[in-house]
Structure 1
Amino acid sequence: MQAHLLYQISQIRQLEQSAKTALAPGNLMQAAGAAAAKLAAQLIDEAHAKSPRLSNIDSHRAICILAGPGDNGGDAFEVAYQLARLDQANQLQIHVLVCGSIEDYSDDAKLSLHRAKSRNCRWLQLDEIQKFDPKQYILIVDGLFGIGLNRPITGEIASLIEAINKQVHQISQCPVLALDVPSGLNANTGQIIGSGAVGIALIASHTITFIGNKPGLHTAQGKDYAGVVRVDDLGVEKHLYPAPYARLSTRAELSTLVKPRKQDSNKGSYGDVIVVGGGAGMQGAPLLAGRAALYTGAGRVHVEFVEAFSGIDFSHPELMCRLAESSDFSAKNLVIGPGLGDSQKAIAILRLGLVQTPTIVIDADALNLLSKHADLAQLCRDRSLQSWHTIITPHPLEAARLLNCSATDVQNDRCQAAQTLAKKFQATVVLKGAGSVIADQEHITINSSGNPALATAGTGDVLAGVCGTLLAQGLNALDVARLATFIHGLAADDCVKNGLGPIGLSASEIIPAIRTALNQLVYPNHN
């Protein structure tokens, strides 16, 4: 099983059908129930061990399994059966809340329901929902709706989810285990189905997803709703799997991209990076990018300002600072955009960079200039004719300007938006945000590192600087984007582990942590 491979709903459906042709009725559902029950038992033990409140309830432990009207409900019935079978000492009180009509279930779901009813479970009906009290449980299993849901959850089930979301967050010891996908979440996009006034999804602490991993569990709202994701392939034969839709970034894969440095090397071995930006009142942005380029190993870093600057960064005198003039970018790796502004000088320098430098990172204000000036956008596209490396790093609003749509449209399908940008601008794209999406015209990667500490001014400038340095090391644009985004997020994760953030972590504080993360990736055996 390769948990880093991501499949869309349509691919999972096809896999289900292919697998079922070689299996006895109910086998796939029973395998899902067994896998989920094993994880549920582990979560019950962990919750009971950690919480004095739970220890004092009584000698029994109550869990609630929510069974929806479709095959996700069948999975839930199977979890009830498997948990009851595992509970040989009768320590569990298993409550099953049935939210569907029995006659509407598939044959597989009816078989699992029959198996569950042969065990000692307490059966609740939807009309008893007003009596439902999440506080009495040490585990809630979400088997309401799976990947087949295509409309907002409303009515009594929406009220049930609202009660669980509210109560469980007041009782942090109570885990919520979602089967396949948290109910109400789109497994393709990571957005709540019917987002807005009518949309609701269940917030899970853990998700066990079946057959293959799904992109929506790792980007957008999925980052807040899926919790810890575990994948179980249910024994589906490997040869049945198609090419994945996308991938998750992994430390193992990315650690091979940058090689240890040779003793016989010098500053000329690691490339020159030029950062251009710093319009009026925005001189800090290119300094952040320049410092990030310096801390990730560029041989030399030049920071050029479109407006006046004092001439030196006293905290980092290694940076060569100057006014941006008619530079020769032909032998340099260019990062352009942090604090650039929209002056005629800024436009002229961006135009020069697009036609001169073989490697360019376009960020921030430079992206806004691409969206406003069709000739600049065309120059960006034309770079591909020379096989030059181009990386653009928009946040959702910048992406919306580039695509002439709304930020909501971008967020509604981040993977599609990133790949549409890649095709439109013939570039590698880093669409920043929760579960940043890296895409070129053929590949999509969702970044697996990072946390809300990065939601602060300047962190995008830092990422652009890291990209510039890695381009200077000779990596291709897609590998640069994947690696830079990963170590950028990993640095934020390390900061939080060490008690720094997530609230109040600054972009400047992340830069040395990126250096540490990169060195640990390249030299894993060094102390």
Structure 2
Amino acid sequence: MVSKVSTSLAHYAYKVNQLQRHEAEAAMAGGINLFQLMARAGAAVLSQIQQHFPAARHLHIICGKGNNGGDGYVIAKIAHEVGLSVTVLVMAEREAITGDAQQALILLEALPVKVNFYQQNELKVASISAFQADIIVDCLFGIGFSGRLSPTLEQLIIQINNQPCARVSVDVPSGLNADLGTVYTVAVKADLTVTLIAYKQGLLTGQAGNYVGNLQLETLGVNHVFAQLTTTACFRQSERNLPSILPRAPCSHKGHIGMLLAVGGFETFTGAICLAAEAALRSGASLVGVCCHKQSRNIVLIRQAELMVVADSAQTLSSSTLLKKIKVIILGPGLGQEHWSQALFDLVITLPQSKVVDADALRLLAEYPIKNSQWVLTPHPGEAAVLLSCSIAEIEADRFSAVKKIAQQYGGICVLKGAGTLVSDGNIVWINSTGNPGMASGGMGDVLSGIIGALILQSVDLFSAARLGVYIHGRAADIIVQKYGQIGLLASDLYPEIQRLINAESY
């Protein structure tokens, strides 16, 4: 498998203040001014609208008073010129429109396009259902929005979301925080979001998945200049910039790849450890041993003949002759939080092998915190909240800070699961681009642990293994969902696609 790492701007993700500081500078360095950049933005968005909604004939464009509204005036002007029917609602008084947005509005007002201005002394916004449209184009707010919407704008966005037509947001769905991916009350639920110049990190994770729809990037021809003006430690992971696994020599045998040990499976939690261990086998681990409760032993052996049960307690594991052969340990799936579980945790956590720490082991780690550079922690938001002694709401309010804090506090690599899974070493953050809502089913996290554990055996470092594992996990689910749909997707359904993807030249 060849490395696919690329330095394209399409793989970078930025904070809002970086765009605000360098947008004008990038335009100037590219030989244009901000009004010309606005003109490019409007043309690019309309092109995306025509590409994705070729049958659309009437656009209803809703604009704010800033430059995002200016983009909307450009869209309206060009749409009229190409023969589309256009109406415009401006959520501001005419006198409030200034700068480049005003220049764009003046050009629009020279055309026979109906522009309606909202008056501050009106009691409510007129119902937008009065404007029959194929598409509502959301140009209310740009990247600078944060905080809470006014009651008037909340009601407007609710109306927008209730209309039986497609919705397109320019740059960011209005109401969504472009830095954090959070929504305070409501936001436009776009079918298509056309984001401009570069990806904003908040569009790629967390609640953003409920609002952005089909996310498309338009760099407006200033991408290379912009990348030279500012740096970022946040990246969007796609099939074009994945790490590679180490090639296998023709004379490789199972000892070269190495043995993995999966620790967990307390009594009635056998399924979790089976899923993790089986996923490790399908992901390339040559030998997989299992340490599980004695009542789980027979189920493990029946489920998969290639698995070895090497111990059933901390005592038997500590005396196992196989312990020295083990290169990687997965700790946590189905481990429980009993005395048996605690004893195994206390033993395994001190062993020198690289580890994947998941599920119940994360909760035990929070009770007895230590730091280790040689592990990958894979919490979902609930487990992340336990690790950081905070609420789930606080984790989801700033997933970027949370994933870095866990890696800094506990060491190694943190994988914060969820929509737009984040992978961090405490400094750099990668945002995963694969996965779907069908993965909200039991055992998916256990399979991910197995994949990452096996990839640690085959990768140059833990970060690479975690990144590639997260991508393949989500991509396997995406492929299955394309064939059969999201409902009823099982964790074990992923095995054939995991094996195929790991062996593929291209994802």
Equivalent in the alignment of 1:514: 498
**TM-superposed deviation, 1:331:** 4.2
Distance 1:415 1:25, change over 3 A: closer
TM-score by length of 2: 0.91
Alignment partner of 2:304: what SS?
Answer: coil
Distance 1:502 1:135, change over 3 A: farther
Contact 1:43 1:139 in 2 (8 A): no
**TM-superposed deviation, 1:175:** 2.7
Query: Is 1:394 the equivalent of 2:379?
Result: yes
The partner residue of 2:309 within 299, 321, 331 is: 321
Contact 1:71 1:105 in 2 (8 A): no
- Which deviates further from its counterpart, 245-254 or 425-434? 245-254
**TM-superposed deviation, 1:153:** 1.8
- How well do the aligned residues superpose, as a CA RMSD in angstroms? 2.0
**TM-superposed deviation, 1:135:** 7.9
Q: Give per-residue Cα distances to partners, 1:355-398, cap 9 Å, x unaligned.
A: 2233100000000001112xxx22xx1x33xxxx2100000000
Q: How far apart in 2 are the matches of 1:422 and 1:25?
A: 40
Q: How far apart in 2 are the matches of 1:177 and 1:245?
A: 29
Q: How far apart in 2 are the matches of 1:7 and 1:120?
A: 39
Equivalent in the alignment of 1:109: 101
**TM-superposed deviation, 1:73:** 0.9
Query: Is 1:7 the equivalent of 2:14?
Result: yes
**TM-superposed deviation, 1:262:** 3.5
The partner residue of 2:286 within 271, 296, 299 is: 299
- The residue type paired with residue 43 of structure 1 is H
Q: Give per-residue Cα distances to partners, 1:190-233, cap 9 Å, x unaligned.
A: 111x2xxxx11001111111121011111111112111111122
**TM-superposed deviation, 1:180:** 0.7
Equivalent in the alignment of 1:54: none
The partner residue of 1:262 within 230, 246, 249 is: 249
**TM-superposed deviation, 1:21:** 5.1
TM-score by length of 1: 0.87
**TM-superposed deviation, 1:105:** 2.4
- The residue type paired with residue 40 of structure 1 is I
- Which deviates further from its counterpart, 431-440 or 144-153? 144-153
- Which deviates further from its counterpart, 511-520 or 307-316? 307-316
Correspondences of 1:8-157 after superposition (within 5 Å):
8-19=15-26, 23-24=32-33, 26-45=35-54, 47-48=55-56, 61-85=57-81, 87=82, 90=83, 92-126=84-118, 129-133=125-129, 136-157=132-153
Unpaired runs of 5+ residues, structure 2, are: 1-7
Contact 1:18 1:240 in 2 (8 A): no
- Which deviates further from its counterpart, 355-364 or 159-168? 159-168
Distance 1:228 1:94, change over 3 A: same
- The residue type paired with residue 502 of structure 1 is Q
**TM-superposed deviation, 1:20:** 5.2
**TM-superposed deviation, 1:141:** 0.8
Distance 1:321 1:331, change over 3 A: closer
Q: How far apart in 2 are the matches of 1:443 and 1:274?
A: 29
**TM-superposed deviation, 1:71:** 1.6
Equivalent in the alignment of 2:4: none
- Which deviates further from its counterpart, 272-281 or 22-31? 22-31
Q: Give per-residue Cα distances to partners, 1:258-281, cap 9 Å, x unaligned.
A: 245333222222221100001131
- The residue type paired with residue 329 of structure 2 is L
Q: How far apart in 2 are the matches of 1:134 and 1:408?
A: 38
Equivalent in the alignment of 1:459: 444
Distance 1:404 1:239, change over 3 A: closer
The partner residue of 1:185 within 172, 176, 189 is: 176
Distance 1:99 1:320, change over 3 A: same
Contact 1:437 1:444 in 2 (8 A): yes
Alignment partner of 1:114: what SS?
Answer: helix
**TM-superposed deviation, 1:62:** 1.5
Equivalent in the alignment of 2:202: 216
**TM-superposed deviation, 1:502:** 0.9
The partner residue of 1:476 within 461, 482, 491 is: 461
Contact 2:206 2:399 in 1 (8 A): yes
- The residue type paired with residue 30 of structure 1 is A
Q: How far apart in 2 are the matches of 1:415 and 1:65?
A: 33
Unpaired runs of 5+ residues, structure 1, are: 49-60, 169-173
Contact 2:267 2:296 in 1 (8 A): no
Aligned residues: 484
Equivalent in the alignment of 1:277: 264
Q: How far apart in 1 are the matches of 2:324 and 2:412?
A: 19
Q: Give per-residue Cα distances to partners, 1:427-486, cap 9 Å, x unaligned.
A: 200000011010112210011000011111111011001111011124311111110000
